[in-house]
Amino acid sequence: MASRARSGPLDVMVTGLPSDAHTWNLVFIQLLIEDLGHHVVNLGPCVPSDEIVESCGKSQPDLLVVSSVNGHGFQDAEELIRTIRSRWELTGLPAVIGGKLDVLGAEGRAGNGRRLVEAGFDAVFGEDQGLSAFEEFVAALAAHRGPAAPAALAPAAPWEGAAR
């Protein structure tokens, strides 16, 4: 994706995954991002991966936020981000994921978080984290817009709340 160097609010796309029918998390994250002063398109729950990829390709958002609550987000998310990163126009799209991504507990969460970052997510925000890491990520992205935006975000750890 050719990043648009501009100022002002971010254009953020929020989505659920194909296997997750929960909506409250998507509404909450939309309201949070809007409260931070950014524009949001909320694709909703149970969105097929190809629809997420096509929507990103068409609208070229400044950030993709994926949220999961059902504990099975890891499987869908890994495939989704690999597909996004395989598209030349989306390789630079900042993308994050958060929520309950697995049912394995803390040990599995760290390993799966690492795998999601290795697959292409810029940050993984675990269910046990507060919102401050996500808010800091959004603020840093807004402040460092341009071709090197994700690289400008300093990693705290490679799997939870950290940039790749």
pTM reported for the whole predicted model? 0.85
Question: Residue 101's pLDDT is what?
Answer: 80
Distance CA 72, CA 113 (A): 13
Helices 73-86 and 49-59: crossing angle, nearest 10°?
40
Residue 53 has pLDDT above 90, yes or no: yes
Q: Using one digit for the tens of pLDDT, what is the confidence trace for 97-144?
A: 998 887 766 555 567 888 899 999 999 997 777 789 999 999 999 998
Tell me, what's the pLDDT at 13? 98
